Amino acid sequence: MNTMPGRHFLQIPGPTNVPDRVLRAMDMPTMDHRGPEFQALGKRVLSGIRSIFQTENPVIIYPASGTGAWEAALANTLSPGDLVLMYESGQFAALWKKLAEKLGLRTEFISGDWRRAADPEAIAQRLNADKSHEIKAVCVVHNETSTGCVAPIPAIRRAINEAGHPALFLVDTISSLGSIDFRHDEWGVDVTVGGSQKGLMLPPGLSFNALSDKALEASKSARLARSYWDWEEMLVMNKNGFFPYTPATNLLYGLDTAIEMLLDEGLSRVFARHARHSEATRRAVEAWGLEVLCRDPAQHSGSLTAVLLPDGQDADQFRKVVLDHFNMSLGAGLGKVAGKVFRIGHLGDFNDLMLLGTLGGVEMGLDIAGVPHRPAGVRAAMDFLSGHRQSEGNGKVVAG
């Protein structure tokens, strides 16, 4: 590909654009990870990250991708042969299931159509039938990155409670943390899984487990093998701001700044900004005459929008056209929707003008690729965004 002027538009649903302020924070000499300067940094990030998960309990930070945090959540709480209930909401739910099976766990997958998130009623029905409490954990993806559907986590927690079931509740927030409201403590989650490369505005390389007291108690009797992922060693060292092995030092510099940026903006404003960009994107899709993959408006994601192309249109070829002509990367369709959808990431360090540039690239790409559409999407998004800001200026509240 020829060199193109300007900055590359990275509009996949993660990794996301890393803000200059975070890049500058990471551009520091590597420090002694056993020294007092690092200890101060360690204490700050270990405390600050709790605010992002909205928890008073410990949050473990690993030098790993989100896949590592998936494994850590299972390995610290379960034993070989335990049965885990999962819901087929999309590609990442399927991958978590595959990982669980490799660890020696048994899995039960509630079927889904990849156009809706996990269904609390289906989970409740299965838990109510489990009179012997054979199911040891319920694992759910909060924001399914492959489909753009958000699961109703409080409703699933209620389903577990109303069934009187003792199963642990494990939730993946890799593409929702720092973008979509999530409350680890209030919503009664036992282990929350997170990653650095999406709403936290960092490069890949850090992952997280937020813990409940129940999860910590379960870890005492869990018998799956664990060493690198062991919570116990982490928690002992974390009390003093240190880690049991070499941490990703410069990423922690960046995390410190990213936490500060999110809290300075205010989490409620961060979530509202993502919801606004999500609504503007869906209005553009509708104006183009295309279809959003997620069928339930209550489950639309603030982090990304998956767009279904008409039959006979190759979404991967369309993405190639956009990349070749406008130096912009859009998310690929994964698993069952490969070649059928493209995904627009609108999360992390992102504003109105960046969104309009993204939608402009999509609209021009649709034209060049010969995808049937109406050339009205950017205008629809502009009308929504400008109207929203005018209403904000007048002190009015506008949904979306």
3-state SS track over the chain? CCCCCCCCEEECCCCCCCCHHHHHHHCCCCCCCCCHHHHHHHHHHHHHHHHHHCCCCCEEEECCCHHHHHHHHHHCCCCCCCEEEEECCCHHHHHHHHHHHHCCCEEEEECCCCCCCCCHHHHHHHHHHCCCCCEEEEEEECEECCCCEECCHHHHHHHHHHCCCCCEEEEECCCCCCCCCCCCCCCCCCEEEEECCCCCCCCCCCEEEEECHHHHHHHHHCCCCCCCCCHHHHHHHHCCCCCCCCCCHHHHHHHHHHHHHHHHHCHHHHHHHHHHHHHHHHHHHHHHCCEECCCCHHHECCCEEEEECCCCCCHHHHHHHHHHHHCEEEEECCHHHCCCEEEEECCCCCCHHHHHHHHHHHHHHHHHHCCCCCCCHHHHHHHHHHHHHHHHHCCCCCCC
Q: What angle do CA 5, 348, 335 make, to 5 degrees?
A: 90
Asked if residue 343 belongs to a known ligand binding site, the reply is: yes
Could you count the other beta carbons within 10 Å of the beta carbon of residue 238? 19
For the annotated binding site for substrate, the residues are: 343
For the annotated binding site, the residues are: 343
